[in-house]
């Protein structure tokens, strides 16, 4: 599935460009995803690293480890 998708975080500091999504795309309805997105579900799409380009703000990314 070829694409040309550009995205960013809410403040615009982190921007990225995706040239191709993989076919595995899904919704998660767990309570953590509901809280994180403020919605009934969140949607995830898989992208290979070679198809992802960080345009700005990569150094501002943080990692969050959720309790299971
Ligand atoms: Zn979830």
Q: What pLDDT was estimated at residue 49?
A: 95
Report yes or no: 23 and 1 within 8 Å, Cβ to Cβ. yes
How many angstroms does the Cα of residue 51 sit away from the middle of ligand 1? 24
Average pLDDT over residues 20-47: 92
In this structure, is residue 67 part of a structural domain? no
In this structure, is residue 66 part of a structural domain? no
**Three-class secondary structure of residue 24 per DSSP:** coil
Paired strand residues for 46: none
Average pLDDT over residues 43-65: 94
Count of structural domains, the chain: 1
Q: What pLDDT was estimated at residue 2?
A: 65
In this structure, is residue 45 part of a structural domain? yes
Q: What pLDDT was estimated at residue 50?
A: 96
Per the structure, the complete domain to which residue 38 belongs is given by 2-60
Report yes or no: 42 and 35 within 8 Å, Cβ to Cβ. no
How many angstroms does the Cα of residue 3 sit away from the middle of ligand 1? 25
How many angstroms does the Cα of residue 65 sit away from the middle of ligand 1? 13
In this structure, is residue 68 part of a structural domain? no
In this structure, is residue 11 part of a structural domain? yes
How many angstroms does the Cα of residue 42 sit away from the middle of ligand 1? 7
């Amino acid at each position: 599935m070829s694409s040309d998708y550009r995205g960013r975080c809410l403040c615009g500091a982190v921007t990225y460009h995706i040239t191709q999504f993989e076919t595995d795309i899904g919704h998660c309805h767990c309570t953590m995803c509901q809280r994180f997105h403020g919605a009934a579900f969140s949607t995830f799409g898989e992208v290979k690293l070679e198809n992802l380009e960080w345009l700005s703000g990569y150094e501002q990314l943080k990692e969050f480890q959720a309790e299971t």
